[in-house]
Structure 1
Amino acid sequence: MSRSCEFCGGEIRELAHTRNHVWIGCRYCLRSWREDVDATTRITSESGPSAPLKRGFLESRFGHYTIASLAITIAFLVRLALKPIIGDASPFLLFTPAVIVAAWYGAVGPAICATAVGAVLGGHFFLQAIGEPGVERWDRVGLFLLVGGLLTSLTTVLKSGRSRLAESLWREQTARAEAEAANQTKDDFLSLVSHELQTPVSVVLGWASAIRKRQLHGEALNVALDAIERNATVESRLVQDILDRSRIMTGRLRLEPQIVSVSEIVRAAVEQMRPTFGHNHLQLTTTIRDIQYPILADPVRLQQVFTNLLSNAAKFTLPGGHVSVDASCTERSAVVTIKDDGVGISSDFLPHVFDGFQRDPRSLTSTIRGLGLGLSIARHFVERHGGTIRAISEGPDKGSTFIVVLPLQPQQPAVDHRRLVDAPSGALQGLSVLLVEDDSDARILLTQTLEYYGARVLPVASAGEALQMLAQHHADVLLSDLRMPGEDGIALIHRLRRGGDPDIASIPAASITASRLAEDRHHAIAAGYQLHLQKPVDPDELVSAVLTLARMPHQNHQIH
């Protein structure tokens, strides 16, 4: 909604806003203030110091020249009216202020035109009547033109300085409003957290007290226990959301990726949320197709994504409503769609639906509880897994749809843990493994493990030794630690893939690291490793990885 300033009639801009307050100001008179408004009365005009002002008549080019014309006309008429009193003395007396008015309220162009017109009118109607020689008349005209030019320049400089000062004041007001809004947001957040945490706690304490004092039995006891369990779950989820948000903001959130099936993760999330849908009297239908290729992901965090989306759907769908879950895959990605016929999302709130601590204002007065963190956390986890998430809604009361797209990696064969759970001692017989590990204890442990399963191990402690070993001996598989002093595992695989010997450049390789960061896995695969293992490496997983690499055809992985 657009508003005008009640002091000067100028355009009002929104400087900052929170859930309950909005800071607004006028760029003409530079006044600003805070109002208590709801989302329906929010000012929708552009805000910020860089937003363009709406150009009225006085700010248009035509308006500038109109002001200059009026100033010169008034000056000429007044001077003409004063001619019987002062005669032809000071012919340019009133044209000088007209030039200043044209420069201040117009611009340089109108001021120059006003100077020229004033010179013509003054020279023709007043100087010529004096009867002075032509040379002297032109001197006085030239002097007026010079004075007019100086006045135009000075006025323009003053106007520019005033404009810069006004812009600085507007930026200062905007920054102050944003700071006050941030402080208000913090207070609102503390109030919201206090309310949301106390609500389930009060329910748990109330029912616990009722059980103790009234000695509940039978159906009444079951109702009490159900309420306690349900609210304890809500409390746990709220605390977990706050902790996850804190870890995300401080960069301390760690993923533990492993080979998982997207369809199994979705099924687990659906089963976890099924009691909630039953309690809310909602119909839940699922169409989960088996995803052909698994992905490397943190199963706990990925399940949390779908649990948050399903919880959101259950929360904003009225009893008797319907929620559907569809999981399928394309050639390169897994697609999970969660659709409901609930309250929907307004077009104003839709761009902010994944922002932290944001809730649709239409739900603030309802009984819907929550901190507004679930979707923000879900987006972060999806993006950390290299995927995307988006929300679609046609508007209020028209339901909403959330689509999660996760990249598949069919070219990276999954390590089948079940196939070699009890791998025989000779499972790696005939295979030669180059092991690069700077830590002596880890190198000895991995060497003995591989030798137990029949592999011929070439253990080295650095990337340089690995290159020398490959130059002298043949290796079927390379296992290399990523974090080593000097030349690390990434630099080693780069040198191997760029090498001139095609046999060495195409050796199948797996990286090994104690790091839990998903970025390390992505960097390793991008650099040229086919598999990525985490310490401590399970012996069966190690054997399975070596066999998987050994079965790979030796393709040319050279980097040009």
Structure 2
Amino acid sequence: MTPPRHINLPAAGFGLYAILGGALVLTGWLADVPILTAWGSNGISMMPNAAVCAMCAGAALVALAFGARRLVVGLGIFVALIGAATLFEFATGIDLGIDQLIVAREWGQRGTVEPGRMGPPGSASWTLLGLALALACGGVKARRAAGMGVLLALAVSLLSLVGYAFGADQLYLVPKLTAIALQTATVIFGLSLGLLSALPGLQPMKLLAARTTAGMLARRVLPMVFLLPIGVGALVVWGREAGLFETVFGTALRTLIEIFLLAALLWWALLKVAGNEQALCAAREEAEQAARTKDTFLAQLSHELRTPLTPVLMTAAVLRDDARLPADVRKDLVMIERNIALEARLIDDLLDLTRITSGKLALRTESCDAHSLISHTIEIVRDEAREKQITLTLDLAAQRSQLEADPARLQQVFWNLLRNAVKFTPRGGHIRVESHDGVCERDHRGDGHRVCIAVSDDGIGFSAADGGRLFEPFHQADTTHGAGLGLGLAIARAVVDLHHGHIRAESGGPGRGATFTVELPGEVNRKAQMTAPAAASDGEPELPLRLLLVEDHEATLQVLSRLLKRAGHSVTSAGTVAEAQAAARGQNFDFVISDLGLPDGTGHQLMAHLREAHGLRGIALSGYGMEEDLRRSEEVGFVAHLVKPVDVNELRRILRQVVARGVHATRCSVDGFPRDASR
């Protein structure tokens, strides 16, 4: 016996009613008390076999309510056999000797074809109910079939009950067609309702139990749709038979009463729907406000976490390249720089996951080269791989590597995969990065050409069970190889999906390495190229610029000012919007580098003013990195938006691009900063 999570009270209640009703009728037959077998005044008795079926079906329904499935199946089959055998007698005219097997009486035979034989409606209903009880313990398809059988039995009993309510003998008294006792019809009706309640996952109970507007309407309206016409019709028939009014008046009265009651019912249901809609609107508004509050909180948290990291990261990056420092100190500075960058990238992952779940992860597509992005990403992880003595092999064989994509986001994907490979490959291992041309079925985006990039390693691998969950947020197949949030692959899949691409993972099992393959649609309507457009080289000398540096974080202001001056630029510092505007009125500047969160305003307001009043452009430095922040920065005149902690090499690269393209260029395209990942 399988104990249920809770007892199905409707099923148990209707089952007990069937047991008691059947037992009472059977007692009447055995004790020779006719009144116990015929509840109405028409003399139609419930047959002994019908009473046995009622008790067995009721016991099966109670057992189902308590989870005793084997007993349910046995009793259901027994009930179905009795009903089917009686139907066989009707169909063939063969007497199987079962009609008076329990008891034989002279009385109680009104409406029967043979003494003691159930009528066709009862026989069919017991067959359907018995089969439904047995099937209710099976799988989904079996339970669906059970539901259909129950609905048919319910329709048969309802037809008979309507006949009794209106005194229509043709619906319950024709021996070879409709004969059925009142108590039999009520028991079958109750058993049908009880069995339906025991099938909550199927229609119609699924809809009736649903906590939705449709479910509420079904619960309120459906019962009344059945009960109101029957009740009103029965009252009108009773009034006409009592001589209170004639047939025409009774029909008109019934119509008016039904119109009034159904209109009242509909209005009652509509009021409830209106209340539900108001509650839903309030809940939606509350949820949207909570989402806005969450976004604001995350943006502020990101800003507060990133800002203190900027001067530390920039100082470590500059000191790392200072040849005057001992080698061991410079090595320690590399470790400091790497871990600060890792901290920032973990923040990026959390923000990206928020963008993904809210559907706000947007792409800024342009023509870019997959091979250039891969090569740049490899340079980022090369030092970490060298420390573990890992060999990096590059085989970029794709002839058409040009993409129409967001280069910053794709570099984020490649960085996730490569850093994972380095992280989970043992010391002295090997990582291979390959590309090749692929073909898929032609779609609306292009000619079917795809660029395939595979990152393979001989690291820890993963099991088949973990393989199905690798791309789920927060899932980590292995937690022994360093910290991580388990977000990298989930973000990578979301980015690849936005590019209409595909990412998959393969492994021979634990300890047998892994291969991650990314397939991306090739660029549409553009001649494929092997390399990206030429950009300013990192080795190109920087021309001195007159820079206005606006930053309210004192440590960041001092470090950044010192680094820019060391690079040969003339730097004027300001800590507020007012100071920056005053400096712009008194001096000529080539470019602006500004924080966004300032004490007396925002960097966006400042940039808009400086652009309009002095024709200046600038670079935004901020701990705010949401899509809305980037969009607003571009609108007000910033040519780039760097998210703190700022990579000093990235800042210098953008300044070189500014010089190469002209100080007052209208726009400067900038690669994004790679994010962290963890498998």
Q: How does the TM-score come out when normalised to structure 2?
A: 0.39
Which structure is higher in RCO with an 8 Å CA cutoff and minimum separation 6? 2
**Structure with the largest fraction of helix:** 2
Larger radius of gyration: 2
